[in-house]
Structure 1
């Protein structure tokens, strides 16, 4: 198993805990953020590491920076987890997931198309 496989298995495990618990999704979300932001080495070009860092960083920051919106942030965490577990392993579907979450939901700007 390479680093990417181990990383993805660890993320799946944390997200499964999140979805199968009545507790707040915040702690498992922090664990996913830790894995994605350097807790596990991923050096094989797996886009999931960088994109999941941005997604889970934004979702956990949402609770930390705007505690009055915790319910909304937690709903997004559960949705992001459920959707990731649905698409994970299908690189095309993952790309669509990253695009939607990063740009449409979390508001990251899309890169400008190259000028010719």
Structure 2
């Protein structure tokens, strides 16, 4: 096998691998978009259920236990306030969550993930807003 043939085979394998990588990137993008849409819908359904439970509960019946995750509550808050820009601590105060540093850092990571997924914008350092 000569150098020319070796280079031709190498280029063919490179082209096939690049095409496969492009296909996988497209698949990841479709899945990410689907995940963001599904999580947003889940947050909307959770919020709707809370409203309906609140309207149908008698005056003396205790409130149901909190069933939404913090992540779902965060997404629901941005959906309820689409034009508002939040800092992490403002969001925590609104949701009445503990403001210790480890909890805040976890939420910063969650918000960063939502920005990367395209659900939120980051108009400034440490500030987050629902993407419109």
- TM-score, length of structure 2 as denominator length: 0.26
With normalisation by structure 1, the TM-score equals: 0.29
| Structure with more helix by fraction | 1
Q: Which is strand-richer, 1 or 2?
A: 2
Larger Rg belongs to: 2
